[in-house]
Structure 1
């Protein structure tokens, strides 16, 4: 072997030099981080897509019901069990805390910032779905608080889904609740946003 290398001019690796005799090992080593980075980008894309869909559905539904249903009698969807009735809510989800509008606006903005920080290390698709639901819902209600009357950061959120014997809410509220429930499930299962599993 050494004689053949002497003839062809190929230097023999020195002992302990760390040279890898496995073909393509170096290429595989550099490809793995790139694949990990690619997975992270795809998860962020999924988060943004879910958030955008939630936001557009919430915004579109609010514009529609305000134009068609506000100041009108409730519309029965499933008899009296489920109706569409437009109300202006200055509180949190399900009309809680109506005297804390500005404080609730700050909370919504803080949630958006926290999600943005988590998204930098987001490799889990279920977490991307959960955070996307939260982000879209937070943006939906925050838009109302900024742009609707009575004023900037004091605006009333448009609610219109009115089940019998329950508070009136909107699609943004539903997305926030679903995202929160999914996060609780993922946490109990030990799945972190970076895709790793942990055990308590």
Structure 2
């Protein structure tokens, strides 16, 4: 078979840099092109253990405050006799509560104990996948408050699962409460607000689906 070779004395065309020009390679690297057409890659979410530590830290602070204040209330306050803080509006009033937060659902102590135990277990399960710091804060508040009241349910009279919770702070017409009660309610309100505005516990920002829709909308406008 005959092959065509450059004739002697023939000069090959040179590129701008003095070398033989490269053959055309066609389109750019598909991986590079694909990355160029999309939005900038999102930063990686913090590792879940980091948020779990935040959750447990918040819960520990609430739990310690709740236990210490209850011990002091039982030791220093006369049962059922208000001690004025701000007139008759805000008082120290030691009571034993068989119900839920703010003296609700009295008489269902063992049911409330089982529910609170389930809440604690559920929060620990969620904590393994937790990414949002705000969810860590809210869940930590709920966990600390739930565990604080569970300590009373298990270790105070009249017995395990039926123990009465110590409440000691009275504000106006509001039922007497302790440190754990507003912590649980405040944490629950925070989680509701986060859910309404589209913040999930396993994402740093808004829901992944909403971000994906926004990304497609931007791509269509190009």
Q: Which residue does 1:49 correspond to in 2?
A: 57
- Count of aligned pairs: 170
Show structure 1 runs of 4+ deviating over 2 A: 70-73
Unaligned runs of 5+ in 2: 1-28, 33-41, 211-222
Residue by residue, what CA displacement relative to the aligned partner does 1:158-193 show, whole Å, maximum 9, x if unpaired?
A: 001101111111110010000011001100110000
Q: Which has the higher helix share?
A: 1
Are the structure 2 counterparts of residues 72 and 153 from structure 1 closer, same or farther at C-alpha, using a change threshold of 3 Å? closer
Q: 1:139 is matched with which residue: 119, 140, 147? A: 147
Q: 1:67 is matched with which residue: 63, 70, 75? A: 75
Q: 2:127 is matched with which residue: 119, 133, 136? A: 119
Q: Is the counterpart of residue 151 in structure 1 residue 159 in structure 2?
A: yes
What is the RMSD computed on CA atoms of the aligned residues? 2.2
Unaligned runs of 5+ in 1: 1-17, 22-31
Report deviation, 1:70: 3.1
Residue by residue, what CA displacement relative to the aligned partner does 1:62-108 show, whole Å, maximum 9, x if unpaired?
A: 00010000337311111111101000000111111111100000000
Q: Is the counterpart of residue 163 in structure 1 residue 171 in structure 2?
A: yes
Q: Which residue does 1:197 correspond to in 2?
A: 206
Greater Rg, structure 1 or structure 2?
2
Distance 1:120 1:152 in 2: 29
TM-score between the two structures when normalised by the length of structure 2? 0.72
Q: Is the counterpart of residue 188 in structure 1 residue 196 in structure 2?
A: yes
Distance 1:72 1:197 in 2: 48
TM-score between the two structures when normalised by the length of structure 1? 0.79
Distance 2:80 2:143 in 1: 31
Report deviation, 1:110: 0.4
